[in-house]
Structure 1
């Protein structure tokens, strides 16, 4: 198949979250399976840095209709990965030559509606300029959701490039939808006929994600449980009705993301002081000692270490974590290691714990890839008390590194972690709790510590179960292949 993957970011070129990882790894896996994949994204010269040198201009004057009768001129740059996979970049400095992708100084760019209307239209124009006959147009998140509208509109459906195209809309986080003033419709080239409840209209505003969902042939999200959760008012962020409309027609599916098993592999990870495998965990013991030294904790192999690497945000439930660990630090023989940044009050509270309980709590405010790998390898447990988690990657990294996850049962955390019980030991990989209250999280962490101390064979069995689980992109790619085939045959 000829697959066009539209996205606002892809690693390693530009990354703010998991979307970037998916937008490289999944197209790469699909290309390995023999499909022709073209990833189209913006060209961010300030963000991409030296990676800009890997790209070359392949189309100098790309006309992009923008506004009432206006046309803007962009360029297309290419980085060819192999015969089946190319990354194409829309070069338009007015919108994309900026220090960050979506915001600056804590505020979203005021022209984000224009920036991503332009990107969606430029994706369509690039397909025509590069003469790609598109079997599957796969749009990711709100930034390129208008592509699904365009492919069925009078503007593009008469082109032979899109004659057989099936459109896919993937929601990576429904909390972000691209809601803007309806005056921005003039930039899209679409008529006011599209401003209705079955397309763009959303409480008298534009909602790009809603329009992408309702016009796509298939809608996916990044875990089966999250696909069910977003059908409810609690998790649907006011799009539950639109998603229910797709679900009853069999057009909504959840597919778990994979992880990069080359970067996240304790047997070969160059960022670790010691490597190890499920057959020989001695290196993990040494990584734990290095982690304790790094964060100024007492170097003791017998004490359970709980690790956290996270954005300090409401979604991640770290407010509940902060509320419950003070009692454990006072009364329990435990250690905590936290790496993250975000809400200032959370940063301050965690910093206070580190000062109040030296030797038991270590905190790094900010992000460090090296520390993230060390926390995954050196911790005994990894804590993820998320309010909602579309997929989650850290619980999969943790299992791969023999670090037992403690998670709230939501979204991809529910789907990827098998809860411990004496009767489920052959499958168990972690500990789950359900109600997001401090007592529930605290009791679960204490429960995990009791197994760690009092049932070593069961704890080691969970470690091995997690390390042997296959989280590779190969499995995800197979599910998307089946989805694409389903869309092509059915619609």
Structure 2
């Protein structure tokens, strides 16, 4: 089928989070399965710069009153995926983050920017932009594409609509003045359409009007139907549960492959897993920790914000560091108070804790390949990718059992007499149920105890590396959802 994939970011053109990885990988997997895929994306300055290197040509010019919008055609670097870029000054004349300014505040015209992005995406989908291609199905992602879903739902002969929630915490909320400024249909200002507690909610454009809704793990699909995780939209999602499904993200298994990863000092696989320790020693040296094969090495990569469970780590870890039971490597950036707290902890335990503020792709790969245990104590996590990278690298994840972490990391509470898992799913990591420092502490104690039983540790590593984390499986599940969306559309 002809699929238009609507997204506000796609790696390697532009990335602020996991959506960019999905937008890079799922269209590629669909293309391999013989679908005709077009990816539509805002033409941010760095996107245009990267696109010029692979080739850029004008595709269409659209005029709305005094507003002129150009659509460029390029392709996703390193792939055969065709990309259409929506170029207007609000995107292309503005550097920095796609959504916020230098102070971290939302751009004040985000409602206009992503409304017009939705208008152009809808025109391209309907084959009305002077382009000889029409979508059978439009796949929108997160609030930035919500307006495209709402506009297309009004079309008499429209494509089927699928909407994916990558993180429900971001709604795309604006005051009534934005609704009035955009001259949206009056009946949309209603709790059963796009009004949310006296605000305009872009994400509701997708949640209300799409034929099928997906999110990025089965557990998160269940969680967002509850008040605890539903961000005020749990009632709507519960009402649409028949159209809601959770499909786990895959990972780029070429980019994340310990057998060929160019960032690693020593490549390895399940067959020569003992070689992994070479990366551990190299990592310890790189980040300034005393090299030691025997000391368990822990890792964390991610945003230093409350959602990622940083408070839990700050409460639980000091006692392990104080006793010299482990070393810890952290890579990330986020809120200033966490930067300060971690710097203070590093000053107290310089031989136990290495902190790199910021992001470094090479170091991220070296951490995945070099540490023994990867921490993801997130308070909520729609899917999570780092636990999947860790599993593939034989680095055992230790996670809070929520969202995608709950669906991918297994630790049996039932043990047989010889200490092996009694359940059908083999243990591949460690998990804790309650979002408390004591639960994290208990899980870490179990993990460190197992580390000192090399045969059992090795078996758990082999279990982890055996999993299939590719996009092929996920792409097949999306095809099933696409078929359901076509059926729903045809019933209306």
Give me the TM-score of the superposition, normalised by structure 2.
0.93
Which residue is equivalent to 2:478? Answer: 480
Which residue is equivalent to 2:448? Answer: 449
Which residue is equivalent to 1:72? Answer: 67
1:374 Cα deviation after fit: 0.7
Which residue is equivalent to 2:205? Answer: 211
2: CA distance between counterparts of 1:381 and 1:355? 23
Which residue is equivalent to 1:141? Answer: 142
List aligned pairs for 1:291-370, cutoff 5 A: 291-370=283-362
2: CA distance between counterparts of 1:277 and 1:441? 29
The answer to whether the Cα contact below 8 Å between 1:35 and 1:84 also exists between their aligned partners in 2 is: no
2: CA distance between counterparts of 1:402 and 1:48? 38
Q: Which runs of 5+ in 1 are unaligned?
A: none
The answer to whether the Cα contact below 8 Å between 1:62 and 1:126 also exists between their aligned partners in 2 is: no
> Cα RMSD (Å) of the superposition?
1.7
Deviates more, 1:425-434 or 1:268-277: 425-434
1: CA distance between counterparts of 2:138 and 2:182? 19
1:46 Cα deviation after fit: 3.5
Give the direction of change, closer, same or farther, for the CA distance of 1:385–1:355 in structure 2 (3 Å limit): same
Equivalent position to 1:243, from 215, 237, 242:
237
1:71 Cα deviation after fit: 5.1
Q: Which runs of 5+ in 2 are unaligned?
A: none
Give the direction of change, closer, same or farther, for the CA distance of 1:38–1:188 in structure 2 (3 Å limit): farther
2: CA distance between counterparts of 1:442 and 1:104? 38
2:102 aligned with 1:102, yes or no?
A: no
Which residue is equivalent to 2:246? Answer: 254
Q: Which runs of 4+ in 1 moved over 6 A?
A: none
Give the direction of change, closer, same or farther, for the CA distance of 1:43–1:189 in structure 2 (3 Å limit): same
2: CA distance between counterparts of 1:187 and 1:268? 53
1:274 Cα deviation after fit: 1.1
Give the direction of change, closer, same or farther, for the CA distance of 1:263–1:88 in structure 2 (3 Å limit): same
Cα shift readout 1:305-350 (whole Å, capped 9, x = no counterpart):
1100010011101111011111111124211111111011111111
Q: SS at 1:145's partner residue? A: helix
List aligned pairs for 1:61-460, cutoff 5 A: 61-63=61-63, 65=64, 70=65, 72-80=67-75, 85-99=81-95, 100-105=97-102, 106-127=104-125, 128-129=128-129, 130-153=131-154, 157-158=155-156, 163=157, 165-247=159-241, 250-420=242-412, 421=415, 422-424=419-421, 427-453=426-452, 455-460=453-458
2: CA distance between counterparts of 1:144 and 1:191? 18
Give the direction of change, closer, same or farther, for the CA distance of 1:126–1:486 in structure 2 (3 Å limit): closer
1: CA distance between counterparts of 2:344 and 2:48? 36
Cα shift readout 1:45-76 (whole Å, capped 9, x = no counterpart):
2455343332423334223x4xxxx4521111
Cα shift readout 1:417-466 (whole Å, capped 9, x = no counterpart):
1114534277110000011111111111111000110x222110111111
Deviates more, 1:185-194 or 1:324-333: 185-194
2:5 aligned with 1:13, yes or no?
A: no
Deviates more, 1:136-145 or 1:325-334: 325-334
Q: SS at 1:312's partner residue? A: coil
Deviates more, 1:339-348 or 1:74-83: 74-83
1: CA distance between counterparts of 2:271 and 2:233? 47
Give me the TM-score of the superposition, normalised by structure 1.
0.94
1:94 Cα deviation after fit: 3.0
Paired residues, what number? 476
2: CA distance between counterparts of 1:200 and 1:11? 30
2: CA distance between counterparts of 1:481 and 1:60? 29
